[in-house]
Structure 1
Amino acid sequence: MADVSLVLWAAIPPLLFLGFYYCRVQFAPSWLRLVLLFIFGAISGFAALGLEWVFETVANWVVNWQNTKYSLSGIILRQLVEVGPIEEGCKLVAVVVPTCVLQRKYRLRSSSIFLFTIAVALGFTAEENWIYLFHGTASVLDRIIGTPVHAMFSAPWGYALGIYISSTMRLHQDRKLIPKAWINSVICHALVNVLSSAWGYSTPIRFLSYGLFPFLLWMFWRMEQLLRKVQGKRPTILISGYTSQHRYWQRGLVIFALILGGNAIFGLFLLAQTLSPLSPSQLFYPDILWFILSRLLINLGFAILAWLIYRYLRHSARRHYL
């Protein structure tokens, strides 16, 4: 029974997130196909796990690869050479193979291929969730927070693949976009893993972890923008200044909003982690209740300020383009 519970906790959040995107795409492929791609994504996760084990075994024969896990420079190297390329490569294969099969019978839209990519990435997430939960190396809360991350990694090459395959002309420049987007995904994948690892180091390096959630928030924004583009919608414009000075000011506001919003999410995540060992009755102790309310107010204040900056930038853009 415990194993079934682990599988449900591992699979249900990614499936709900897939349903969220499925409902937002006009002329989406059938739900059954997306579930099949989700399963392919989970299989690609196990394939990536095996390939990483083979890579580390071979690398340990040549150099002491195991020691790369104990320094920041080693973690960066491991993420760029091993983890990022293998995981993004396995997800790419899991999208390309069924897409090529379906393309022989149907004319696929770029939005369908983008959804295939999200489905595979979320299946990969479900497999990863099960591994972490089975071995007890992460909590359910940690894994729920990380549900969209693999989809955000893969969104650039999913977009590029969709544009190329759905095009009637199959332009060379569109094909060249795929490896560039894949490399971008590998770098973002590596950077997120490095920033999340920085929390375990001493103070100067530890501060890097505060860049994690703003970067994740930016990647989520990017995925949303790519979703709009594959559906033929206009991108959401935030930078609308006529002069370079005004545009620099607006870019600064965007970065500031990402820092505020990202670290508001980070603060709420840390609050939930702090409170998770407590029983429900302990949450109502006066000192603990005051701690909860103060942290909620601080982080909600940051989030509201970030939202107000976003609304100001959207209002400025609408005023300029009317």
Structure 2
Amino acid sequence: MVDFFLLLWAVMPPILLLGYYYCRVPNAPPLLRLLLFFIIGAISGFCALSLEWIFETVFNWLVDWQHQGCFVTRRCTFGLVGVALRQLVEIGPIEEGCKLIGVVVPTCYLQRRYRLLPATIFLFTIAVALGFTAQENWIYLFHGTASILDRSIGTPVHAMFSAPWGYALGIYISSRIRLHRHKKLVLWAWLNAVICHALVNVLSSAWRYSPPLRYLSYGLFPLLLWMFWRLEQLLQKVQGKPPITLISGYTPQHRYWQRGLVMFALILGGNAIFGLFILARQLSPLRLSQLFDTEIMWFMLRKISLNLIFGILAWIIYRYLRHSARRRYF
């Protein structure tokens, strides 16, 4: 029974998010077809896990890095640089490659029978990425290496990684004339996904280290917020809708000022979410009755108020940039 509830918690958040995107796209493919891609994504997750195990087994056998050291020094291997190298060389390419194959193979089969729209292929990419997430959730929850809260918050992350190459793949496959530049766009978008994948994993590992490396973790949620924004922008473009404009200045100085505001809003908004996430992790071990203790309630109120102030400031900056763009174009 416990395993069933863990499986339910692993699968339900990605399924709900897939349903959210399914409802947002007009003329979306049948839901059963999306669920098939979701299952393919879960299978690709197990394939990626097997390939990573084989890679590490062969790599350790060849260089015996745990005893002799690897690349630079043994300290580097076990430090943040070693984590970054592992993410760039192994985790990112294998996981993004398995997801890409999980989208390309069934899509090419369907393309012979149907005329697929770019938005359809983009939805296939999201479905595969969320299926991959469900598999990853199950592995983490089954082995007790992450909490339900952590995995639920990380639900859209794989979809955000894969969004660039999903968009490029949709443009390439659905084009009547497949240009060489479209094929190159898929490759560059895939490399972008690998780098973002590695960067997110490195930043999420930084909190385990002592300062100043620990402070890198404060860049995680601003980066995730930007990637979510990019996913939404690509979803707009793939449906033929104009993307939301924030940078609309007439002069280079004005545009630099607006880019600085965007960066500041991402830092404020991302770390507001990060603060609420940390608060939720701190409160999760407590019993319900303990939450009504005066000191704990005052602590919660202070933390929530502080992070809400940061979030509201980020929202005000966003609305200001949107208003400026409307005045520029209308």
**TM-score past 0.5 threshold:** yes
What's the CA shift for 1:227? 0.3
Query: What residue number does 2:287 align with?
Result: 279
What's the CA shift for 1:189? 0.1
CA distance in 2, matches of 1:93, 1:151: 15
1:235-268 CA-to-partner distances (Å, cap 9, x unmatched) read 1000000001100000000000000000000000
Q: Which amino acid aligns with 2:16?
A: L
Query: What residue number does 1:206 align with?
Result: 214
Query: What residue number does 1:197 align with?
Result: 205
SS of residue matched to 1:23 = helix
CA distance in 1, matches of 2:93, 2:150: 24
What's the CA shift for 1:70? 2.0
Structure 1 portions without partners, runs of 5+? none
CA RMSD of aligned residues (A): 0.9
CA distance in 2, matches of 1:62, 1:194: 25
Query: What residue number does 1:182 align with?
Result: 190
**Structure 2 residue corresponding to 1:265, chosen from 273, 293, 304:** 273
CA contact (8 A) 1:271 1:292 kept: yes
What's the CA shift for 1:65? 4.2
Q: Which amino acid aligns with 1:161?
A: L
CA contact (8 A) 1:154 1:185 kept: yes
SS of residue matched to 1:242 = coil
What's the CA shift for 1:69? 6.0
SS of residue matched to 2:24 = coil
SS of residue matched to 1:312 = helix
What's the CA shift for 1:320? 0.3
Query: What residue number does 1:35 align with?
Result: 35
CA distance in 1, matches of 2:184, 2:217: 34
Is 1:136 the equivalent of 2:144? Answer: yes
What's the CA shift for 1:172? 1.2
Query: What residue number does 1:318 align with?
Result: 326
**Structure 1 residue corresponding to 2:242, chosen from 234, 238, 249:** 234
SS of residue matched to 1:219 = helix
CA contact (8 A) 1:56 1:65 kept: no
Query: What residue number does 1:163 align with?
Result: 171
CA distance in 2, matches of 1:233, 1:286: 50
Query: What residue number does 2:130 align with?
Result: 122
What's the CA shift for 1:171? 1.2
> How many percent identity over aligned positions?
74
Deviation beyond 3 Å, 4+ runs, structure 1: 64-69
Is 1:250 the equivalent of 2:274? Answer: no
CA distance in 2, matches of 1:37, 1:221: 24
CA distance in 2, matches of 1:103, 1:176: 20
What's the CA shift for 1:131? 0.2
Give the 5 Å matches for 1:10-21: 10-21=10-21
What's the CA shift for 1:175? 1.0
TM-score (norm. length: structure 2): 0.96
Q: How many residues align?
A: 322
Give the 5 Å matches for 1:80-119: 80-119=88-127
Is 1:57 the equivalent of 2:65? Answer: no
Structure 2 portions without partners, runs of 5+? 67-73
Is 1:291 the equivalent of 2:299? Answer: yes
Give the 5 Å matches for 1:215-230: 215-230=223-238
Query: What residue number does 2:71 align with?
Result: none
CA distance in 2, matches of 1:288, 1:203: 28
